[in-house]
């Protein structure tokens, strides 16, 4: 008895919360008895850790000190000096994938209503990002490079004032007092790190200092930013943390804060949970004879079991693949996750193979697994290299590719699961529920921004090759997930593409044009059953446009509930993007500007979008297509690498 107690004491040190608080300073060594207001995924674990997010859901999590703090000298309105110190840890599920970080926040409200997850860090949203009326000061520990917010890299610390474009940012590093120089620090390395944030109101200097856990406080801060916070902050403000990462658990172990004083040291912090598989339970002591008989019996069945299992779960792994091990999933795990690739878990079937829904056993993460049959070994190395490089793409409007697995004659691609299915289901064949114009316009802008990222903002130019409604998955829309039917790519292929077989950014723009018309008209690019004048969507819209009746093309399901100017813009832009001459099609950056309304769409007639010219070109293009139908798009691309078309957009 006493031995057991001793063991418990050794392994579970008693945490004595030393929480002291008055209006201007507090110290939490662990959060067991803390006064925090939590929302979203934020929780206090049983051993006193503050967990802002967990890996199973991507949602915001906030934790704020419940009591508002008086940040300003009431007699002259200038912000008082303050200092805060905390220990936190970012624990990604899959290294090196998984990202977004967390932020320390000073905000006028407890919680940040309306804020978005992922790249928005749970701080802002599309509409209020950058607005001075936010009155928000944040220090972000960001592990993702979002080009839309001009991030410097995927491991940086920045000071954000009212918006996500940091006023100042540096790659995460700490000054090592012994060596006398800066050392790099990986933020999401699953280990605790210390952060000090100090503001000196005399010289208006905001310092941010980082260091690994149990390292002496560096004498030189990482960031030292000169700014008068009196211009941003209100008289009383709340302090706290925000996080909304993808597949990452975010923890705060302890936190101290002080106005007009130095934040206190922390001690006896709670421990982070062990990462990785749980320890095997101990085998109980049973009589030796029983064990020996059982073990003989077991031995035989284990051998038989392993032989079967080895065959059932066999994978292909070659020497050149060893670099990609972090992105590899074990076949066995995928098999278990999809309940043995049961038909019940089937999400859809397409030219490239079947897609299954699954739940990873030890983390409860929902995934979608695409099984692509791949007979030839030729080009496999390039193929896998491409998957891995695509796994590094990160954009709000691209569904993350988490990794892959390879077996004989088969390749499995693993994606994050999007619960609401693909866009085409909400557009065609008497949908149970349609999208209103606002939602459609948001989806269009999202896909445009994802495509701009692929074409112009990533380190290499990525041509998608298969833009279509069934490759756009939806978030945040109430509807049961159902089987998706991946439609053929007929009608999205640029005329020059069918001639040369070469995919370019310009053929992507063509497909995007077809997609725009599809979303606005609620019709597929080609309806083989329709009459000959209306069978090809582009021709039909073009003829309506030339008669000055372009709005006649609008999806009847929308009724009259749409913004006329936006619909007209989308339809005309669709025609322009789908111009038969590639040099006339706009680039994605221009398209995004047209959609945002920052630049007006030029007059189509002046660009030579003449019906007669186009009509001819399209007929030619579609005759090519008709003759090549029913050969699938897969054979069309064979020989070239085609993995990029497995990228899927989200309409969030
Ligand atoms: C309140 O905070 C101040 C400044 O840190 C400290 O000196 C004082 O002792 C605290 N008062 C109480 C009652 O805890
Ligand atoms: C993640 O958070 C949700 C909501 O707070 C909770 O129900 C779930 O148990 C958490 N998952 C894990 C693995 O902690
Ligand atoms: C926690 O904060 C609330 C105000 O939001 C206050 O009423 C309460 O007394 C505080 N509790 C402690 C233990 O400080
Ligand atoms: C507030 O400002 C007044 C006037 O400048 C000054 O006398 C006072 O000491 C300040 N109070 C604090 C707490 O800094
Ligand atoms: C307010 O008072 C403080 C303390 O006396 C001083 O440091 C600060 O400069 C004053 N601010 C303004 C705007 O006068
Ligand atoms: C913060 O201050 C501004 C003016 O300085 C005011 O308009 C706004 O309502 C304040 N916000 C809150 C939440 O008090
Ligand atoms: C954005 O956030 C603001 C402030 O929190 C909120 O009022 C607004 O409704 C949000 N906008 C959207 C589109 O969610
Ligand atoms: C900033 O937000 C305020 C209040 O939410 C709004 O009235 C104003 O138009 C916004 N300004 C910009 C530039 O978005
Ligand atoms: C530290 O990080 C910077 C920027 O990420 C990089 O350029 C530099 O090579 C790194 N230094 C070391 C020693 O790893
Ligand atoms: C902030 O950093 C600067 C050096 O960049 C230092 O001189 C100053 O004392 C620091 N201020 C605080 C409050 O730590």
Q: What is the DSSP string of 629-650?
A: TTS-HHHHHTTS--GGGG--EE
Kindly give the parts of the chain with pLDDT less than 70.
1-23, 55-58, 94-99, 275-289, 319, 322-323, 325-326, 350-352, 374-379, 470-471, 473-501, 607-652
- Which CATH topology does 424-650 take? Transferase(Phosphotransferase); domain 1 (1.10.510)
The residue whose CA is least distant from atom 1 of ligand 10 is 207
Cβ proximity of 118 and 399 under 8 Å: no
Give Cα 603 to chain centroid, integer Å.
37
Atom of ligand 5 nearest to the CA of 202: 7
Nearest-angstrom CA–CA distance, 66 and 590? 46
Rounded to the nearest whole angstrom, what is the distance from the C-alpha of residue 644 to the centroid of ligand 6?
47
Atom of ligand 6 nearest to the CA of 109: 13
Nearest-angstrom CA–CA distance, 632 and 152? 42
| pLDDT value for 576 | 92
Nearest-angstrom CA–CA distance, 207 and 224? 4
Closest-approaching ligand to the CA atom of 162: 8
For residue 62, the SS3 value is strand
**Exposure on the CB side of residue 544, measured as CA atoms within 13 A:** 20
23-259 maps to which CATH number? 2.60.120.200
Alpha-helical segments (H) within 270-330: 288-312
The residue whose CA is least distant from atom 5 of ligand 10 is 224
Rounded to the nearest whole angstrom, what is the distance from the C-alpha of residue 128 to the centroid of ligand 8?
7
Cβ proximity of 209 and 32 under 8 Å: no
Rounded to the nearest whole angstrom, what is the distance from the C-alpha of residue 203 to the centroid of ligand 5?
10
Do strands 137-142 and 484-485 pair parallel, antiparallel, or not at all (unpaired)? unpaired
Residue among 300, 296, 422, 293 at smallest CA distance from 355: 422
| Sign of the torsion angle spanned by Cα atoms 352, 356, 361, 365 | positive
| Sign of the torsion angle spanned by Cα atoms 201, 202, 207, 211 | negative
Q: Is the peptide bond before 611 cis (omega within 30 degrees of 0)?
A: no
Cβ proximity of 250 and 117 under 8 Å: no
Nearest-angstrom CA–CA distance, 345 and 400? 20
Q: Is 635 in the pocket of ligand 8 (CB under 6 A)?
A: no
Token pair for 461: 């130019």
Closest-approaching ligand to the CA atom of 247: 2
Nearest-angstrom CA–CA distance, 558 and 425? 15
Q: Is 607 in the pocket of ligand 10 (CB under 6 A)?
A: no
Q: Is 184 in the pocket of ligand 9 (CB under 6 A)?
A: yes
Question: What's this model's pTM, rounded to 2 decimal places?
Answer: 0.58
- What stretches of 244-345 adopt beta strand conformation (E)? 248-259
Atom of ligand 9 nearest to the CA of 155: 5
Atom of ligand 2 nearest to the CA of 41: 5
Rounded to the nearest whole angstrom, what is the distance from the C-alpha of residue 567 to the centroid of ligand 5?
54
325-416 maps to which CATH number? 3.30.200.20
Residue among 577, 576, 578 at smallest CA distance from 621: 578
Cβ proximity of 241 and 50 under 8 Å: yes
392-403 tens-digit pLDDT: 777 777 777 788
- Residue for token digits 């991507």? 58
The DSSP bridge partners found for residue 95 are none
Nearest-angstrom CA–CA distance, 396 and 365? 19
Q: Is 125 in the pocket of ligand 8 (CB under 6 A)?
A: no
The residue whose CA is least distant from atom 11 of ligand 9 is 184
Rounded to the nearest whole angstrom, what is the distance from the C-alpha of residue 163 to the centroid of ligand 7?
13
Terminal-to-terminal C-alpha distance of the chain: 57
Cβ proximity of 465 and 503 under 8 Å: yes
Rounded to the nearest whole angstrom, what is the distance from the C-alpha of residue 234 to the centroid of ligand 6?
6
Cβ proximity of 76 and 58 under 8 Å: no
Rounded to the nearest whole angstrom, what is the distance from the C-alpha of residue 67 to the centroid of ligand 3?
7
Residue among 136, 169, 124 at smallest CA distance from 150: 169
Domain definitions of the chain by residue range: 23-259, 325-416, 424-650
Token pair for 371: 């099984």
The residue whose CA is least distant from atom 12 of ligand 4 is 73
The residue whose CA is least distant from atom 13 of ligand 4 is 73
The residue whose CA is least distant from atom 6 of ligand 4 is 75
320-372 tens-digit pLDDT: 776 676 678 888 889 999 998 988 888 877 556 788 999 988 778 888 888 87
Cβ proximity of 259 and 25 under 8 Å: yes
| Ligand 6 first shell, C-beta below 6 A | 108-109, 135, 234
Residue among 494, 557, 488 at smallest CA distance from 527: 488
| pLDDT value for 610 | 53
Residues recognised as catalytic? 466
32 belongs to an annotated ligand binding site? no
- What stretches of 177-243 adopt beta strand conformation (E)? 181-184, 193-200, 205-212, 223-226, 236-243
Cβ proximity of 102 and 243 under 8 Å: yes
Rounded to the nearest whole angstrom, what is the distance from the C-alpha of residue 187 to the centroid of ligand 9?
13
* 359 CB burial (10 A radius; 0-12, 13-18, 19+): middle
| pLDDT value for 351 | 53
Cβ proximity of 64 and 252 under 8 Å: no
Token pair for 347: 């999400």
Q: Is 258 in the pocket of ligand 1 (CB under 6 A)?
A: yes
Q: Is 131 in the pocket of ligand 8 (CB under 6 A)?
A: yes
Token pair for 12: 């579970």
Q: What is the DSSP string of 85-134?
A: EEEEEEEESSSSS-B--EEEEEESSSS-TT--SGGGTTT--TTTTT-GGG
The residue whose CA is least distant from atom 13 of ligand 1 is 22
Cβ proximity of 123 and 108 under 8 Å: no
The DSSP bridge partners found for residue 175 are 182
Alpha-helical segments (H) within 578-652: 588-596, 611-628, 633-637
The residue whose CA is least distant from atom 10 of ligand 10 is 207
Please provide the size of the chain in residues.
652
Atom of ligand 7 nearest to the CA of 125: 1
Measured N-to-C along each axis, helices 537-546 and 611-628 cross at an angle, to the nearest 10 degrees, of 170
Give Cα 427 to chain centroid, integer Å.
25
Q: Is 261 in the pocket of ligand 1 (CB under 6 A)?
A: yes
Atom of ligand 6 nearest to the CA of 108: 13
Tell me if domain 23-259 and domain 424-650 are identical in fold.
no
Q: Is 74 in the pocket of ligand 4 (CB under 6 A)?
A: no
């Amino acid at each position: 008895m006493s031995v057991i107690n001793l063991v418990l004491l050794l392994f579970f040190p008693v945490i004595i919360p030393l929480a002291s608080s008055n209006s201007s300073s507090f110290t939490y060594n662990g959060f067991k008895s803390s006064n925090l207001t939590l929302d979203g995924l934020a929780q206090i674990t049983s051993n006193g850790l503050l967990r802002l997010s967990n890996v199973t859901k991507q949602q915001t999590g906030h934790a704020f000190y419940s009591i508002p703090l008086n940040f300003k000298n009431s007699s002259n309105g200038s912000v008082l000096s303050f200092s805060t110190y905390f220990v936190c840890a970012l624990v990604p599920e899959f290294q090196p994938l998984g990202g977004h970080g967390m932020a320390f926040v000073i905000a006028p409200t407890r919680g940040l209503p309306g804020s978005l997850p992922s790249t928005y860090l749970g701080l802002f949203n599309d509409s209020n990002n950058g607005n001075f009326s936010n009155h928000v000061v944040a220090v972000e520990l960001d592990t993702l490079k979002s080009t839309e917010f001009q991030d410097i890299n995927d491991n940086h610390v920045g000071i954000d004032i009212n918006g996500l474009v940091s006023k100042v940012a540096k790659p995460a590093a700490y000054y090592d007092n012994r060596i006398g120089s800066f050392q790099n620090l990986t933020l999401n390395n699953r280990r605790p790190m210390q952060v000090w944030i100090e503001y000196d109101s005399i010289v208006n200097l905001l310092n941010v200092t980082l260091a690994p856990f149990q390292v002496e406080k560096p004498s030189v801060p990482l960031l030292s930013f000169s700014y008068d916070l009196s211009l941003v902050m209100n008289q009383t403000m709340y302090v706290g943390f925000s996080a909304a990462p993808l597949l990452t658990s975010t923890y705060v172990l302890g936190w101290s804060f002080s106005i007009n004083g130095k934040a206190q040291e922390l001690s006896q912090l709670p421990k982070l949970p062990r990462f990785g598989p749980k320890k095997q339970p101990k085998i109980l002591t049973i009589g030796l004879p029983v064990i020996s008989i059982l073990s003989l019996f077991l031995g035989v069945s284990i051998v038989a079991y392993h032989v079967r299992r080895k065959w059932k779960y066999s994978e292909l792994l070659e020497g050149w693949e060893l670099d990609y091990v972090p992105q590899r999933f074990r076949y066995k795990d995928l098999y278990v996750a999809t309940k043995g690739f049961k038909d019940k878990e089937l999400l859809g079937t397409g030219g490239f193979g079947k897609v299954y829904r699954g739940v990873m056993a030890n983390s409860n993460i929902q995934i979608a697994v695409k099984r692509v049959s791949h007979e030839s070994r030729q080009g496999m190395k390039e193929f896998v290299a491409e998957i891995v490089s695509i796994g590094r793409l990160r954009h709000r409007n691209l569904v993350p590719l988490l990794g892959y697995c390879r077996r004989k004659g088969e390749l499995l691609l693993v994606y994050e699961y999007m619960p609401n299915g693909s866009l085409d289901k909400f557009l065609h064949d008497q949908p149970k529920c349609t999208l209103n114009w606002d939602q459609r316009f948001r989806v269009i802008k999202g896909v445009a921004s994802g495509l701009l990222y692929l074409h112009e903002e990533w380190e290499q130019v990525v041509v998608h090759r298969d833009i279509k409604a069934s490759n756009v998955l939806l978030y945040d829309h109430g509807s049961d997930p159902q089987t998706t039917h991946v439609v053929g790519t007929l009608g999205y292929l640029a005329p020059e593409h069918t001639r040369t077989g070469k995919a370019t950014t310009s053929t992507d723009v063509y497909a995007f044009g077809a997609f725009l018309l599809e979303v606005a008209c609620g019709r597929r690019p080609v309806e083989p059953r329709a009459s000959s004048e209306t069978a090809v969507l582009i021709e039909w819209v073009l003829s309506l446009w030339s008669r000055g009746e372009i709005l006649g093309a609008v999806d009847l399901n929308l009724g009259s509930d749409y913004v006329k100017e936006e619909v007209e813009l989308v339809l005309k832009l669709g025609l322009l993007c789908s111009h038969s001459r590639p040099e006339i099609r706009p680039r994605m950056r221009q398209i995004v500007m047209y959609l945002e309304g920052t630049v007006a769409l030029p007059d189509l007639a002046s660009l030579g979008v003449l019906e007669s010219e186009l009509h001819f070109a399209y007929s030619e293009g579609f005759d090519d297509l008709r003759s090549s139908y029913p050969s699938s798009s897969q054979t069309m691309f064979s020989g070239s690498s085609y993995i990029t078309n497995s990228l899927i957009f989200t309409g969030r």
